[in-house]
Amino acid sequence: MEIKYEIGTLNNAEGRGIMRKFIRLQQEAPMTDDELASAVEHECTLSRADIKAVFEALRYHIVHSLSSGRRFHIPQLGYFSLTASLTDPEQQRKITGRDILLRGIHFQPEDALMHDLRQDVCFTQAGYITKSVAYQSDELWGKVSDYLSTHHYLTCRIMRTEFGLSACKARQWLARFVEEGRLKKEGTPHLPLYFLAA
pTM of the model: 0.58
Residues of the chain with CATH 1.10.10.10: 137-196
List pLDDT tens digits, range 89-100: 887 888 888 889
List pLDDT tens digits, range 29-86: 788 889 999 999 999 999 999 999 999 999 999 999 999 999 999 999 999 999 999 8
Q: Cα(2)–Cα(193) distance, rounded to whole angstroms?
A: 27
Residues of the chain with CATH 4.10.520.10: 2-125
**Fold of the CATH domain 137-196:** Arc Repressor Mutant, subunit A (1.10.10)
**Fold of the CATH domain 2-125:** HU Protein; Chain A (4.10.520)
